Amino acid sequence: MRPIRILIVDDQPLVRQGLQAVFAPIDDIEVVGEATNGVEALERVRRTGPDVVLMDVNMPRMTGLEATRKLCSGEFGDSAPKIIILTMYDHDEYVFDALRAGASGFLLKDAPSHQLADAVREVVCGGALLSSSVTRQLIREFVRRPALPSSTTELKSLTCRELDVFRLLAQGYGNADIAEKLHLGESTIKSHIQHLYRKLGVRDRVQVVIYAYENGLV
């Protein structure tokens, strides 16, 4: 089994060097490149085909937010990498917009090495990274906005069981908890989740939560 391929995008050399040092001894994760801004990030993604991009937000030429939007726009198809936003603070004002743009979560730049590695593995498996503070931030943002009309076409395509899984995902339950509540095996839940992603046109759990809130379903 090949290692998970990651691209590090940050305009600070010390941050890039530090992340390189973190991942160097980890056998199942390989750093395939670096970039100093969003423009370089897009070029490196095309050239190296990473599974995950660790993306800084504030960079020259093209910000991490702009690069995330482009990477998640559909242009890269099935080969589009998962995006993890790198930030100094868990209340970064750009975190919400980055998640809406398609990022799978965020990491603090000073996170312990084991958390960095676990985060990369988590998003590759379709998981998401949201701390309680960022979850509260997201909910506050959704609450103050009027709900959009429900996307009934996509929702009507869901089976009753997929709709059950969707509601529990949107409330933040993990696979094991969903399996227990619905009296199903975890492998069955994973299959339902993949069907959900395809039918709703979302990438991961973060996008499921955003879809649910934006359509007034939670």
Lowest mean pLDDT among 116-130, 147-161, 162-176: 147-161
The sheet carrying 52-56 orders its strands as: 29-35, 4-9, 52-56, 82-87, 105-108
- Tokens 């996307």 -> residue: 151
Report the share of the chain in percent with pLDDT over 90. 33
CB 42, CB 71: distance < 8 Å: yes
> Could you write out the DSSP letters of every residue in 60-127?
SSS-HHHHHHHHTSSTTGGGPPEEEEEES-TT-TTHHHHHHHT--EEEETT--HHHHHHHHHHHHTT-
pTM of the model: 0.70
Q: Is the pLDDT of residue 201 over 90?
A: no
List of domains in the chain: 4-139 (3.40.50.2300), 147-214 (1.10.10.10)
Rounded distance between C-alpha atoms, residue 187 and residue 106, angstroms: 27
Query: What is the rounded CA–CA span in Å between residue 218 and residue 98?
Result: 21
Q: Residue 177 pLDDT more than 60?
A: yes
Residue 206 has pLDDT above 90, yes or no: no
pLDDT, residue 144, reads 59
Closest listed residue to residue 64, CA positions, set 90, 92, 91:
92
CB atoms near residue 162 (< 10 Å):
18
Round to whole Å and give the CA distance between 141 and 137: 6
Instruction: Supply 110's token pair.
Output: 């000073």
- Identify which of 44-58, 117-131, 183-197 has the greatest average pLDDT: 44-58
* pLDDT tens by residue, 34-58: 999 999 999 999 999 999 999 998 8
* Highest mean pLDDT out of 54-63, 139-148, 207-216: 54-63
